[in-house]
Structure 1
Amino acid sequence: MTVLDAHAHLWTRASTPQPWIDPGSMAAIDRDFGVADLGEAQQAAGIDGALLVQSSNDLRETRDLLALVDGAAVRGVVGWVDLEGDVAQQLEELGGGAGEVPAGLVGIRHLAHQDPDPQWLGRPAVGRGLDALGDLGLPFDLVVLPAQLPLAAEVARAHPGTRFVLDHLGKPPLASGDLAAWRSDLAALGRLDNVVAKLSGLAIEGDWAGWTVDDLREPVEAALAAFGPSRLMFGSDWPLVRLTRGLDAWLEALRTLLGDLSGDERAAVFAGTAERTYLGGPHA
């Protein structure tokens, strides 16, 4: 079965600093990661390719990531543009023609969970940018904290012509163990036809070294109930997954948790949904 990783990161910290990395607790990712590192991890895990996702709200990083698209290890880039600015002009700066999406750019993301304004998604100027993405066929990745999920649903509802992708299932608060509000807010997003979600980055919300498959069962079952397999996609969150027992452990856990699905349903989660969402539009 084809496995397409819908959520991987690469960074060279001289050009794209990662100040959030703590050398003490995050030694496993306290270095640069390039395409060769990603390719080695993919080969070891049986992953056929990945989509790179921005880690900085910086047009220069997106330009650097686009240069790495090779149709093999790297299938495309979920990059960044300033949605409050001239989206078309920025896409031209990234190599697109007039009114066109640059080759390899398959989506846009903004680090809304880190933005100084927790209501950034709701700004009118951002809304105009989201509509511009919809006109271009570019999906927008939602990376939000649990408290921002209601706003994310409000925004997705207000922009039905734009496709939205919820990263990391909205970061369920596994450490607290109280998932009731998160489940309700996730279900509200799941009722919107223009939203899909990534099964990614879950273990990092709990016990990094000691998580078990059962720890992840409730959020995965909630995601299946909210979205169904045809609107879920696998993401490794590599290299951050190295902090949480590694890529093999995450893949094994997810295969176990999805074990009751049909072959077609598993194929959707592990490749089909990502291919349809990111690689099936006019920018493919």
Structure 2
Amino acid sequence: MRIDAHQHFWQYDPGRHSWITNKMHVLKKDFLPLDLKFILEKNEFDGCIAVQADQSDQETKFLVQQAKQHPFIKGVIGWVDLRAVNIDEQLHQYKDESLIKGFRHVVEGEEDPDFLIRDHFLKGVEFLSKYGYTYDLLIRPRHYAAALRCVQSNPNQIFILDHIAKPPIKSREFEEWALFIEELAVFSNVSCKVSGLATEADWSSWRLDDFSQYLGHVFDTFGKDRIMFGSDWPVCLLAASYEESVAIVASKLDAFTKVEKEAFWGMNAFKIYNL
């Protein structure tokens, strides 16, 4: 089974999707399940995981509704305010909604480098563990130190690192990111999505070789059973087609066995997200 472990749906609204700048004009329209279904089938994917792009309870409900209407959406990573005083009550309301596999906060948009280790947020992560939900880490370099402390403080929580922590591929910086990946991979409760690569490179002139050292490092540190593919569609369209997003990664899997490739393209996501 092949699973795209990271993509988004939205009905475009300039207010709610203010992160989509004029430079990203290709994203300023609706992207819905029927827009993706044919693309998945063409690329021999059996399903996908829909990930939040808007920080609201309505977003979570919208994605669940889409998943109920389109069975190829195998799971939802929603949003909930983990800092809320009533976080236990909020998560409890979702306990019978089996399509929700976990939650995410757009931490990369938070200027506070210690956002992940503020008391209220850490308390929210503890409740995720109580209910068996995963947590997707979406971060920038300023959050590296706090991310390590957050993971260390929650050994029973399943974490998934989004977009291999968004390394600065365009500028070819490597060392700071590589050290963080090494330190994070030590924690066995953390897995890594190999996703969002082209958008961290030069959008108009990237080459396959640009990604080699980053992918090699992720494969070496996380191993073959804690990595999974994600297209980051439609955000990937800023720099690459769906097919190109697949090809960027596929070109680096020559050393993988057949079983390891099957795990990477779907079975790891199936297991880690309990699809």
Regarding TM over 0.5, the answer is: yes
Match of 2:44 in 1: 46
Match of 1:83 in 2: 82
Q: What amino acid is aligned across from residue 82 of structure 1 in structure 2?
A: D
Match of 1:256 in 2: 251
8 Å Cα contact 2:5/2:231 also seen in 1: yes
Q: What amino acid is aligned across from residue 87 of structure 1 in structure 2?
A: I
Deviation at 1:45, TM superposition (A): 2.1
8 Å Cα contact 2:91/2:131 also seen in 1: no
> TM-score with structure 2 length normalisation?
0.94
Identity of aligned residues (%): 30
Q: Find runs of 4+ consecutive structure 1 residues off by over 3 angstroms.
A: none
Q: What amino acid is aligned across from residue 155 of structure 1 in structure 2?
A: C
Task: Say if 1:62 and 1:260 are closer, same or farther in 2 by CA, change over 3 A.
Answer: same
Match of 1:230 in 2: 225
TM-superposition CA deviations, 1:223-277 (whole Å, max 9, x none)? 0111011000100000011111211011112111112101111111111111111
- Match of 2:76, SS? strand
- Separation (CA, whole Å) in 2 of partners of 1:196 and 1:112: 18
Match of 2:19 in 1: 20
- Separation (CA, whole Å) in 2 of partners of 1:176 and 1:15: 30
Match of 1:145 in 2: 140
CA RMSD of aligned residues (A): 1.6
TM-superposition CA deviations, 1:49-105 (whole Å, max 9, x none)? 110000121111111111111463211100011111222322345xx3xxx252210
- Separation (CA, whole Å) in 2 of partners of 1:63 and 1:176: 38
| Pairs within 5 Å for 1:77-116 | 77-85=76-84, 86-93=86-93, 96=94, 100-116=95-111
Deviation at 1:116, TM superposition (A): 4.1
8 Å Cα contact 1:203/1:211 also seen in 2: yes
8 Å Cα contact 1:199/1:234 also seen in 2: yes
8 Å Cα contact 2:113/2:146 also seen in 1: no
Deviation at 1:121, TM superposition (A): 0.5
Task: Say if 1:28 and 1:44 are closer, same or farther in 2 by CA, change over 3 A.
Answer: farther
Task: Say if 1:15 and 1:131 are closer, same or farther in 2 by CA, change over 3 A.
Answer: farther
- Separation (CA, whole Å) in 2 of partners of 1:122 and 1:218: 30
Number of aligned pairs? Answer: 273
Deviation at 1:187, TM superposition (A): 0.6
- Match of 1:17, SS? coil
Unaligned runs of 5+ in 1: none
Unaligned runs of 5+ in 2: none
Deviation at 1:215, TM superposition (A): 0.4
Q: Which one of the candidate residues 244, 247, 268 is aligned to 2:242?
A: 247
Deviation at 1:172, TM superposition (A): 0.5
8 Å Cα contact 2:12/2:28 also seen in 1: no
Task: Say if 1:116 and 1:181 are closer, same or farther in 2 by CA, change over 3 A.
Answer: closer
| Pairs within 5 Å for 1:164-175 | 164-175=159-170
Q: What amino acid is aligned across from residue 171 of structure 1 in structure 2?
A: K
Q: Which shows bigger deviation, 70-79 or 165-174?
A: 70-79
